[in-house]
Amino acid sequence: MERYTRNEITKQFIEIVTRVSGGDDITLNSSFNDLTFDELDMVECLIYSEKVFSIDIPDDKWFDLKTVRDAVDCIEDILEKIK
């Protein structure tokens, strides 16, 4: 199991969001609402994140996320539990 630092998680997830949104200037404070993400965009981010980090993210947790920071926290929390 690969270990990730918070900075690595953040960098990887911002790359995922950038790929899905087609935009740039994504920060930890970016909200999915401001990025005009719909449910399909969130599903894409979920699938990419699960592949990149080799984890399973519960749908009920994922779809409550509001910001990029929330998602990074969620991923970090899951990775911490499977160390």
**pLDDT tens per residue across span 21-47:** 998 899 999 999 999 999 999 999 999
- Percent of the chain whose predicted confidence (pLDDT) is above 70: 99
Residue-wise pLDDT tens digits, 54-68: 999 999 999 999 999
DSSP states of 13-35 as a string? HHHHHHHHH------TT-BTTTT
For residue range 13-28, list pLDDT tens digits in order.
999 999 999 988 999 9
Q: CB–CB of 8/47 below 8 Å?
A: no
Global pTM value: 0.93
Give me the amino acid identity at 5.
T
Residue 2 pLDDT grade (very low, low, confident, very high; cuts 50, 70, 90): confident
